[in-house]
Structure 1
Amino acid sequence: MEPNPDREPGIPTDLLGVARIAGQSLRHIVGAVTKGAVHTATDLVDDIRSGEPISQIFDERVDLFRRAALSALGLTSTETGVPVETKVDAEDLKAMGDAMITEGWDSAQQPRELHPSFVPILHDLTPDEARILRFLAVAGPQPAIDIRTKAPFGIGSQRLADGINMIAAMAGCALPDRDHHYLGNLSRLGLVRFSTEPVADFRRYAFLEAQPPAQAAYRSVKMRAISSYRSIYLTVFGKQFCDACFVLGDYTGGGWAGDDRGDIYLGKGPRLP
């Protein structure tokens, strides 16, 4: 089919193109279309499912759905063909939500093992962040420490350093010094969690306390400084994401996939179960 010369340049006219613009899955686009365009969207999806090539679907119908989908998702196209954000009022949001619920009654449209947000989440990751996720998936919760000045009952205690950990280095990141940026983004995406609970093996914290950032924090004050034991681990959603997106079978996390080091305890402190 010959291209339409009147079509706005730079704007995809198929469902995949709309999905790329909106950063949403096909299911989300169809669900987000306002009620006035639901029938058009449904008919178009039926055509695609029946095996009809997108290139043979009528230009007018595809373009109509494209415009409706962009509008429903708060986007519009400029003269140059670049989508821009438009104002969405309360009624638009209600229409989008109702359309999503109505479309969601079709069990075939419901995601099961693969959540529709997995693909856009992958696009939001750097390679180093992917390495961190893979490491946490096989190595489990990892220790982290905050360093604070010691004060009676913690009143007036000052934080000197926080979140000191070795996750990025142990995961083989190219830029391990950017671990706070990486972990912050992974937390924003709901993949990792920062906990005040320590890991089971307290001996692991001694290694963190010997690291240069921790030693610099200890020396930065004349008064005594203490460590607060923390941990960083994958959320349930993060585990599901890693299982779906990474090959974990042959990866051992530098030997941390198992915790059988065969060493012995020396001195005082809690023992492993």
Structure 2
Amino acid sequence: MDADANNEGKSRFTVLFAKVSHAAQRQYERAEAHVLTQLRARMDRLERPKALTYLSDTSTTPTSAHGQAHFESSLPSRMAALMERADTQDRIAALDDLFHHVLDQLVPDEIRILGALSDGASFALIHAGYAPRIGPMTRRLIENFCPIGKPAGVKLLEYVPAYISHLRELGLVETGPEDPAQDIKYQILESDVAIREALEAEQKGVGMTAKYLRRTLSMSEFGHQFWDTCTGQNPTP
């Protein structure tokens, strides 16, 4: 009798526990569904990013400042538009397209660097690396180290070398030979803590020594044409 009563008690407890667990699970699912509903409602109220709108909705295609479409419904249609423009544009229109394309690739800090060079100024620039005791540099570690950042008002000074590399790739700036008149500036660059630490962090080979390549940074002829046109000093290239 005691065993039967005990088993009956266990059975009732099991049934009761199952009911409670089932009720708790249903309550949790209802709460979860409510939270998800609220989250979806909030997301729906947010403004869709313009870039996503452009990609998903071709009925309103954004255009650039000179009237050329940035987004098309397909690659062939974009190619057809470019081919048609290539057949009809003159030199001025071609330069306009080129300058717009270059300008779209720049960030404000890079514009600041161009502004500092626009009056024809040149800045000391060095590359640093390792070389045999006799001979040219064979392993370059640091490129385009230049003090132009502060006078130009660059906000991200640590990215000045990367900015200069990008501007060189675009053909807007160029490097030239060492300027002996800026010897003091070269010495300051070569003794910079960041340069020293970067060189010391790398393992030197046997018979290798730290070496610096002194150059100058200035605006290229194309850079001057681009700057004058974009700033309105030469509106008709």
Name the TM-score, length of structure 2 as normaliser: 0.57
Please show how residues 183-262 of structure 1 align to structure 2 within 5 Å: 183-195=164-176, 197-203=177-183, 204-220=185-201, 224-246=209-231
Is 1:123 the equivalent of 2:104? yes
| Cα deviation, residue 215, structure 1 | 2.1
Q: Which amino acid aligns with 1:191?
A: L
The gaps in structure 1 that reach 5 residues or longer are 1-7, 30-69, 78-83, 249-273
Partner of 2:97, secondary structure, is coil
Contact 1:147–1:217 (Cα < 8 Å) also in 2: no
Partner of 1:115, secondary structure, is helix
| Cα deviation, residue 240, structure 1 | 1.3
| Cα deviation, residue 236, structure 1 | 0.9
Is 1:164 the equivalent of 2:149? no
**Alpha carbons of structure 1 residues 228 and 102: separation in structure 2 relative to 1, 3 Å:** closer
- Please say which of residues 224-233 and 129-138 is displaced more in the overlay: 224-233
Is 1:85 the equivalent of 2:75? yes
| Cα deviation, residue 25, structure 1 | 4.1
Please show how residues 58-97 of structure 1 align to structure 2 within 5 Å: 76-77=72-73, 84-86=74-76
- The residue aligned with 1:149 is 130
| Cα deviation, residue 180, structure 1 | 2.6
**Alpha carbons of structure 1 residues 85 and 184: separation in structure 2 relative to 1, 3 Å:** farther
- Alpha-carbon distance in 1 for matches of 2:158, 2:127: 17
- Alpha-carbon distance in 2 for matches of 1:200, 1:241: 29
- Alpha-carbon distance in 2 for matches of 1:190, 1:215: 30
**Alpha carbons of structure 1 residues 247 and 115: separation in structure 2 relative to 1, 3 Å:** closer
| Cα deviation, residue 229, structure 1 | 0.8
- Alpha-carbon distance in 2 for matches of 1:170, 1:144: 14
| Cα deviation, residue 155, structure 1 | 6.7
| Cα deviation, residue 176, structure 1 | 0.9
**What is the aligned-residue identity percentage?**
24
- Alpha-carbon distance in 2 for matches of 1:202, 1:156: 21
Name the TM-score, length of structure 1 as normaliser: 0.51
The CA RMSD over aligned residues, in Å, is 3.7
- Alpha-carbon distance in 2 for matches of 1:156, 1:237: 30
Contact 2:144–2:164 (Cα < 8 Å) also in 1: no
Q: Please list every run of at least 4 consecutive aligned residues from structure 1 whose deviation after the TM superposition is greater than 4 angstroms.
A: 99-102, 220-223
- Alpha-carbon distance in 1 for matches of 2:146, 2:136: 26
Q: Deviation per CA, 1:26-54: give whole Å up to 9, x if none.
A: 5xx6xxxxxxxxxxxxxxxxxxxxxxxxx
Which residue among 157, 169, 183 is the counterpart of 1:176?
157
The gaps in structure 2 that reach 5 residues or longer are 1-55
- The residue aligned with 2:41 is none
**Alpha carbons of structure 1 residues 205 and 156: separation in structure 2 relative to 1, 3 Å:** closer
